[in-house]
Structure 1
Amino acid sequence: MEAAPAMSLLALPFPTIDPVLIEIGPFALRWYALAYIVGIFLGWWYAKRLVSNQRLWGPAGSPMKPADIDDFVVWCTLGIILGGRIGYVLFYDLPRFQENPLEIFALWQGGMSFHGGFLGTTLAMILFARLRKIPVWSLIDVIAPSVTFGLFLGRIANFVNGELFGRFSDAPWAFVFPFGGTEPRHPSQLYEAGLEGIGLFVLCRILTHRYLKLRTPGFVAGAFTAGYGVSRTFVEFFREPDIQIGYLAGGLTMGMLLSVPMIIAGIILMVWASRRRPVAPTAARRGGESPVE
């Protein structure tokens, strides 16, 4: 059991922010829901920019059209929500949901897993790409950096809700969270927002715009996957484990356990993509819009 440090005189009080942004009668819009909505729209917008920028794809052009991204938004949303919820149920709190199955549908009470959402969105991309005859890895390469907007906003919403806070800390930037006792804790949600949101976006931006890795299908997807795994594993050293799970064997957490395979898979995917000969898309699948930076 982790021992609490002496109360730091420099600990920051948690800002008073109502988790509910707008409430009209029975309708309530929460910051967490808004983060998902805005994150999906920003990702949609950015994915269309990547598809429309022919310079990033080379002479062969983009293997998909902006209209394909428009149609994929619904698939992506379902993959995020269903995968995220099912992942949370299976990975983090299965006994509770076995006792109360109807709570699985109570999404407004919170409980989403990134790793589950990752798997759900990946399945949606594979099915959609095969249906539209789009190269699967090219679609994943476009969606991967677009996900970073939702990751950033989602972690900020976690901070606003005062949930998923960090371990005890005497750092001057530690916060006393309303549901974390009287001791200051790491704002691990902000660490994750910086690494998983901003950090991964910058990494993917450099790979797509400077090194033109969209021309190497699968490489950006691999970098994102490995990058998330590394970022999440690092933050887990500062994040308080879920109370219903705690620490696993060797001091590991469930977040670490689920992230290690992502690191391995991402590295393998980057190596495989680098050695693979790119397949030129057919003219029928190329985007027809002018380049956009």
Structure 2
Amino acid sequence: MQAMIEFPDISPEIFTLPLFGMEFALRWYALAYIVGILVAWRISLAALRRPALWRAQIPPMTARQLEDLLTWIVLGIILGGRLGFVLFYQPGYYLQNPLEILRIWQGGMSFHGGFLGVVIATLVYCARHRIPILSAGDTIVLGAPVGLLLGRIANFINAELWGRPTDLPWGVAFPGAAAQACGQPLGEICARHPSQLYEAALEGALLLAVLLWLAFRRGALHVPGRIFGVFLAGYGAARVIVEHFRQADAQFITPDNPLGHVLRLGDWGLSMGQLLSLPMLLVGLALIVAANRLARA
């Protein structure tokens, strides 16, 4: 019998409160967003309060400006994340059902859309307050992997975004008809890669450790753009790797395209996640190279 891990019985809802004839639930996914943003803010604030970490010992913004920017960032995450999901993953469905776009509580957020939303919000805010954009980017992304870590754990608890079928001993038997539709013989249980946890480890825990080490131990914040570049390249590389183990979204899978590639090059192909992450990887590497040249100048 194939070795596998039984999916833990954890409710996606932490608690539910009946109020005015309706039920309001706090879900792990919402809590992940809240805690992730707050912890990331505290990490960035800790860096700003240590002038020695910055070029010429001058932090790029004040603590008050960071708090103001946080509001813009939250709006960028929510609006960008939702619109990114609509445009990148299910444009046809939402074109036919435009009112569904507003139902964020039903799920459907894109990291890449949220990231673009944060970039736009930050560019506008920094232009209005004359804050150096690269150092602002370094400040913001320093704690961002915390949110990625918690968000991917929440995806696992929700039993969503699971991986491809596997016979490895740490494969997880996710619940639900879709997760169990692996083409296996009738009566057998399908185990899948826990790709959410792979992402939590790579783009969350590992990337966070690298950024904190570079910023607080190696003086990376002295060179504007270096931390931002490492974040972009690190996330892009992690996502490209994990997409090899992650099940593609159902709308991209067809009988002649079982891996759900949106760009096909002969026997090779790229998933939507890889297609959106490769530019991040390339821009991140370019920023790292430019930052290193600046450091040597």
TM-score under structure 1 length normalisation: 0.89
1:1-293 matches, cutoff 5 A: 9-25=2-18, 26-179=23-176, 180-181=179-180, 182-246=189-253, 247-248=260-261, 249=264, 250-276=268-294
Q: How many residues align?
A: 271
8 Å Cα contact 2:166-2:191 kept in structure 1: yes
Q: CA deviation at 1:96?
A: 0.8
Please state how far the C-alpha of 1:183 moved relative to its aligned partner.
0.4
Q: Distance in 1 between matches of 2:93 and 2:290?
A: 41
Structure 1 residue 59: Cα displacement: 4.0
Q: 1:95 Cα deviation (Å)?
A: 0.7
TM-score, normalised with respect to structure 2: 0.88
Contact 2:166 2:193 in 1 (8 A): yes
Q: Structure 2 unaligned segments of length 5 or more: list them.
A: 181-188, 254-259
Instruction: Give the CA deviation at 1:253.
Output: 0.7
Instruction: State the alpha-carbon separation in 2 of the partners of residues 171 and 277 from structure 1.
Output: 45
Matched AA of 1:56: L
Matched residue type, 1:77: V
Distance 2:6 2:57 in 1: 55
Of the structure 1 ranges 158-167 and 253-262, higher mean CA displacement relative to structure 2 is found in 253-262
| Identity over aligned pairs, percent | 46
Assess if the C-alpha contact under 8 Å between 1:152 and 1:194 holds in 2: yes
Q: What residue identity is the alignment partner of 2:280?
A: M
Q: Which runs of 5+ in 1 are unaligned?
A: 1-7, 279-293
Residues 196, 228 of structure 1: 8 Å contact kept: yes
Q: How far apart are 1:273 and its partner, in Å?
A: 2.2
What is the DSSP-based 3-state SS (H/G/I as helix, E as strand, rest coil) of the residue aligned with 1:251?
A: strand
Letter in 2 for 1:15: P
Segments ≥4 residues shifted beyond 3 Å: none
Q: How far 1:209 moved relative to its partner?
A: 1.6
Q: Which amino acid aligns with 2:211?
A: C
- Preserved contact between residue 145 and residue 200 of structure 1 (Cα < 8 Å): no
Displacement of 1:134: 1.0
Cα distance in 2 for partners of 1:245, 1:94 equals 12
Cα distance in 2 for partners of 1:147, 1:213 equals 16
Deviation (angstroms), 1:251: 3.0
Q: Which protein, 1 or 2, shows the higher relative CO under an 8 Å CA cutoff with sep ≥ 6?
A: 1
Aligned counterparts of 2:210 and 2:116: Cα–Cα separation in 1: 21
Amino acid at match of 1:66: A
Preserved contact between residue 55 and residue 223 of structure 2 (Cα < 8 Å): no
Q: Describe the superposition over 1:115-144 as per-residue Cα deviations: whole angstroms up to 9, x where unpaired.
A: 111111111111111112111111100111
